[in-house]
C-alpha cells in the first residue's frame, strides 16, 4: 500500500490519480 502511494504521489497525471483512488476504494471495501 505504501509503495502504491509513493508511486501515485510521484506520478502527477490525472489518470494515475484516478487509478490510485479506485485501488484505495477497493482496498477499503475489502477491509470492511
pLDDT bracket for residue 32 (50, 70, 90): low
- The rounded distance, in Å, linking the Cα atoms of 2 and 17 is 15
How much of the chain is in helix, strand and coil states, percent to nearest 5?
Answer: 85, 0, 15
Query: What pLDDT, on the 0 to 100 scale, is given for residue 17?
Result: 65
Model-level pTM? 0.36
Q: What is the mean pLDDT of residues 2-21?
A: 70
Question: What pLDDT score does 4 carry?
Answer: 75
**What count of residues does the chain have?**
32
The cell for 14 is 490525472
The CA angle 17-19-21, to the nearest 5 degrees, is 70
Residue 11: pLDDT band (50, 70, 90) is low
Amino acid at each position: 500500500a505504501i509503495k502504491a502511494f509513493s508511486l501515485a504521489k510521484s506520478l502527477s497525471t490525472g489518470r494515475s490519480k484516478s487509478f490510485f483512488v479506485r485501488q484505495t476504494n477497493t482496498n477499503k471495501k475489502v477491509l470492511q
